[in-house]
Amino acid sequence: MDFDHIGAKILIADDDENIAKALHYALNKQGYESKVQYTGESAVAAAVEWRPDLLILDLKLPDIDGFEVLTQLRSNPGTATTPVILLTAARKDLASKVEGLKLGANDFVTKPYSLPELLARVAANLRMTRLTQRLEEMTNRLADLASRDSLTGLFHHGKIMEKLSMEIYRSARYGVALSCVMIDLDKFKTINDTHGHQVGDEILIRIAQILRDNCRKTDIVGRYGGEEFLIIMPHTPQESAVAKANVLRSKIAEEDFVSLPENWRLTASFGVASMEPFEEHDAASLVKRADAAMYAAKAAGGFRVEQWGT
């Protein structure tokens, strides 16, 4: 058998105790973990709670039939994609197979079935499920890579603005505070001009790591452009965002950048803007406020935090 499938969870729903137990034994012998249910209602409950990797479902059950079990499973988000092999009693019962397909069955085996054939179909369905999962994982990974800045690994400009729009919507809808922090590295052009862009890139990578390491998991960090970074802080009033900005300001100033001379301390200017619960805003206007506060910090000499509206 495919070693990827060892330990896969398989639920059997069949009211024939002898057949169900024999199949349970055969599946366990193959390295699967299986459970047996003898009614449709108990099969639905077990599928929702246990979350099997595959369900072998007899069409005829004593309470609700396999069609109703399929209907209930496909309407539940937790079991909507669980593969189902439907056991049908009549070889020529085309109508039942068509109905089963319409309701979401993945495969059919006619009773009395050949055990090797059923085991082969189990393995094939599990293999298809695993391939689908891998494809989804790869697609998600590619989508994530496409949303990130190639140098720092942070969200790029377009994605961070999209995230900000989403957080503004949540803040306005649920009545929670939201802050954003604009960061600009002081005198960064001088670093590029004096030490080269490779050194500048190394510094940007390290700054990104400092921001990641010192922000909450709920905060969203992006590279806004050039040497500017944007942090979205959900559920955060302005005074708390200012406090966090000052922590980050100190962290950056304390960092020893090995590519810079020992007497060179890199600093950054911070601008903080917030929206109160239920306040209406859009991403561009909130960023504009944070940007204005950041430029006020730079105009005052840099290495400081300024907030909008004060």
Q: Does domain 3-144 have CATH number 3.40.50.2300?
A: yes
What confidence score (pLDDT) does residue 3 get? 47
Give the integer Cα–Cα distance in Å for 44 and 62. 14
Which residues does the annotation mark as catalytic?
A: 227
Q: Does the structural domain 157-307 have CATH classification 3.40.30.10?
A: no
Nearest-angstrom CA–CA distance, 142 and 136: 10
Q: How buried is residue 232: exposed, middle or buried, by Cβ count under 10 Å (0-12/13-18/19+)?
A: buried
**Amino acid 257: pLDDT:** 85
Q: What's the confidence (pLDDT) of residue 92?
A: 62
Give the side-chain half-sphere CA count within 13 A for 53. Answer: 22
The neighbouring-strand residues paired with 182 are: 230, 271
Q: In the numeric block, which tokens belong to residue 212?
A: 């990641």
Looking up tokens 């944070």, which residue turns up? 290
Report residue 222: phi and psi, to 5°. -140, 160
pLDDT in 10s for each residue of the chain, 310 residues: 454 677 899 999 999 999 999 999 999 999 999 999 999 999 999 999 999 999 999 999 999 999 999 999 999 999 999 999 999 876 667 788 888 888 889 998 988 889 999 999 999 999 998 898 899 989 888 888 889 999 999 999 999 999 999 999 999 888 899 999 999 999 999 988 888 899 999 999 999 999 999 999 999 999 999 999 999 999 999 999 999 999 999 999 999 887 777 778 899 999 999 987 767 678 999 999 999 999 999 999 999 999 997 6
Residue 144 confidence (pLDDT):
82
| Residues 130, 240: Cα–Cα separation, whole Å | 45
Domain ranges of the chain: 3-144, 157-307
pLDDT attached to residue 31: 93
CA angle 152, 153, 154 (to 5 degrees): 90
Other beta carbons less than 10 A from residue 185's beta carbon: 21
Cα–Cα dist 129/135, whole Å: 10
In tens, the pLDDT along 177-220 reads 999 999 999 999 998 888 889 999 999 999 999 999 999 999 99
